[in-house]
Amino acid sequence: HCFSKSEEDGFLYCEGVKVEEIMEAVEKRPFYLYSKPQITRNVEAYKEALEGLNSIIGYAIKANNNLKILEHLQKLGCGAVLVSGNELKLALRAGFDPTRCVFNGNGKSLEDLVVAAQEGVFVNIDSEFDLENIVAAARIAGKKVNVLLRINPDVDPQVHPYVATGNKNSKFGIRNEKLQWFLDAVKAHPKELKLVGAHCHLGSTITKVDIFRDAAVLMVNYIDEIRSQGFEIDYLNIGGGLGIDYYHTGAVLPTPRDLIDTVRELVLSRNLNLIIEPGRSLIANTCCFVNHVTGVKTNGTKNFIVIDGSMAELIRPSLYGAYQHIELVSPSPPDAEISTFDVVGPVCESADFLGKDRELPTPPKGAGLVVHDAGAYCMSMASTYNLKMRPPEYWVEDDGTVSKIRHGETFEDHLRFFEGL
Ligand code: LLP
């Protein structure tokens, strides 16, 4: 793994570079630290898994929208999955081939759809009104749009309800009882729409590949039905959603290869192109969120480690009760007393925790503390709550050089929103 404690000196390293030395070299504030080689390795794992299939790896930009990271993913051959016009603009800026991009979402604006139509990205139809808007956008752009039907397959992904998206009462996609209506509506707009495939997305943090298999079986049946009505569709998009080992227990979790192997025969049997939309499994494990310990305190029965990072920079624990592994960057002395701590930030509310009930040695003031697996849905979900400005980002490159890949936001950035008012 790209972040690991050395067996020799007990310090945390990222690709052979001591994290504590990086902390000394950069601004003293919380920051995100990525391993560029790990990003490459994660993409390679998907590419190898997909060998022998016609496929697009559509990286889900929502997971992490750092421009430098996007440029790297694009150069490695990824396409992109977008959920807003700004993500589309950023994907273009990063050099992604628009014909390998998919525009998803249940509330796409007409304005954004016009850009998508102009650029030739695949668009997923999510609802009746969405179809109307895509038709309108095609007319404005003077372009025929390649569309996929986002089908809601009603498969339970067995994850936190906030990240389940393909069950029947969710706001996403269209249900099978309406399928015929959509096929007729597409047929009625031959100048504006070309149906090229079917899409589904079940949810996120999925750790059982059988769930993808169940969905793929349903989707292939839908594709057979759609083809039997004369549509020449050849894309199956099975979405993203593969989970990762947040707990660091060494448990064996499904790999990209396991995921692709469970659908490979189905895809080949229908001669389909496969689109996948991974976010988390490409980027989460490439990053640590690095903090400094401000102090330690005890109240009632609870011990707290207070750090400078918070729910503003990394909200997954407080929003989803998500577990992300936490450790100190320096070794604990052999005689260190281990206690149970909540790891909390300085934000003024009790939802502000990064970890609960963690067994850790008591750290000195200023010690480095990392939250692991912070590459996905951490920086991209950061806010400036309590005027904690969004942190800088760095990566360790292939040759061990540490470079800044995003400036940290400053107080002056905030004041800019009021200039000239
Ligand atoms: N495609 C679609 C249509 C999606 O809705 C998502 C994520 C993805 C792809 C990428 O899924 P992934 O491979 O990253 O699981 N903020 C939450 C995750 C929300 C995911 C929503 N959809 C979290 O921090 O856990």
The neighbour count for residue 299, using CB atoms within 10 Å, is: 8
The neighbour count for residue 346, using CB atoms within 10 Å, is: 14
| DSSP of 316-384 | HHHHH-----EEESSPPPTTPPEEEEEEE-SSSSTT-EEEEEEEEEPPPTT-EEEESS-TTTTGGG---
Mean confidence (pLDDT) of the chain: 97
CA distance 421 to 137: 34
How confident is the model over 117-144, as a mean pLDDT?
A: 98
DSSP for residue 145: E
The finding on whether 63 has its CB within 6 A of some atom of ligand 1 is yes
How confident is the model over 173-186, as a mean pLDDT?
A: 96
CA nearest neighbour of 408 among 375, 384, 378, 374: 384
What tokens were used for 297? 């305190």
CA distance 241 to 67: 22
The finding on whether 201 has its CB within 6 A of some atom of ligand 1 is yes
| 4 CA to centre of ligand 1 in angstroms | 26
| 240 CA to centre of ligand 1 in angstroms | 7
Q: What are phi and psi of 290, to 5 degrees?
A: -105, 130
The finding on whether 81 has its CB within 6 A of some atom of ligand 1 is yes
DSSP for residue 409: P
Within a 13 Å sphere around the CA of 157, how many CA atoms are in the beta-carbon half? Answer: 28
**Contact of 305 with 344, CB cutoff 8 Å:** yes
How confident is the model over 88-97, as a mean pLDDT?
A: 98
Going by CA atoms, what residue is nearest to atom 24 of ligand 1?
A: 377
How confident is the model over 66-85, as a mean pLDDT?
A: 98
Q: pLDDT at position 336, please?
A: 86
| 7 CA to centre of ligand 1 in angstroms | 35
Q: What are phi and psi of 268, to 5 degrees?
A: -70, -35
- Which one is catalytic: 14, 288, 348, 378? 348
ipTM of the complex in this document: 0.99
CA nearest neighbour of 394 among 24, 5, 4: 24
Through-space distance between the first and last CA atoms of the chain, rounded to whole angstroms: 50
Q: pLDDT at position 155, please?
A: 87
Q: What are the tens digits of pLDDT across the range 290-334?
A: 999 999 999 999 999 999 999 999 999 999 999 999 999 999 888
The confidence band for 102, taking pLDDT boundaries of 50, 70 and 90, is very high
The finding on whether 199 has its CB within 6 A of some atom of ligand 1 is no
> Rounded to an integer, what is the distance from CA 230 to the centroid of its chain?
36
The finding on whether 377 has its CB within 6 A of some atom of ligand 1 is yes
348 is catalytic: yes
Q: pLDDT at position 165, please?
A: 87
Query: Any residues with CB less than 8 A from the CB of 245 and at least 6 apart, and which?
Result: 251, 253, 285
The finding on whether 159 has its CB within 6 A of some atom of ligand 1 is no
The finding on whether 30 has its CB within 6 A of some atom of ligand 1 is no
What tokens were used for 393? 């980002």
CA distance 140 to 5: 56
**Contact of 229 with 183, CB cutoff 8 Å:** yes
Q: Which range among 150-159, 251-260, 367-376 shows the weakest confidence by mean pLDDT? A: 150-159
Query: Any residues with CB less than 8 A from the CB of 421 and at least 6 apart, and which?
Result: none
- Report the nearest atom of ligand 1 relative to the CA of 240: 13
Q: pLDDT at position 168, please?
A: 86
Going by CA atoms, what residue is nearest to atom 3 of ligand 1?
A: 201
Q: pLDDT at position 373, please?
A: 98
- Report the nearest atom of ligand 1 relative to the CA of 282: 13
| 201 CA to centre of ligand 1 in angstroms | 9
- Report the nearest atom of ligand 1 relative to the CA of 277: 9
| 158 CA to centre of ligand 1 in angstroms | 14
Give helix 67-75 / helix 85-93 axis angle, nearest 10°: 60
Instruction: Taking the CA atoms of 47, 53, 55 and 59 in sequence, report the sign of the dihedral they define.
Output: negative
The confidence band for 183, taking pLDDT boundaries of 50, 70 and 90, is very high
| 6 CA to centre of ligand 1 in angstroms | 33
**Contact of 371 with 291, CB cutoff 8 Å:** yes
How confident is the model over 388-416, as a mean pLDDT?
A: 98
Q: Give CA angle at 28 (67, 33), nearest 5°.
A: 35
CA distance 396 to 401: 6
- Report the nearest atom of ligand 1 relative to the CA of 281: 13
| 17 CA to centre of ligand 1 in angstroms | 31
Q: pLDDT at position 332, please?
A: 87
Q: What are the tens digits of pLDDT across the range 22-70?
A: 999 999 999 999 999 999 999 999 999 999 999 999 999 999 999 999 9
Q: pLDDT at position 56, please?
A: 98
- Report the nearest atom of ligand 1 relative to the CA of 63: 14
Q: pLDDT at position 335, please?
A: 87
Q: pLDDT at position 232, please?
A: 97
The finding on whether 72 has its CB within 6 A of some atom of ligand 1 is no
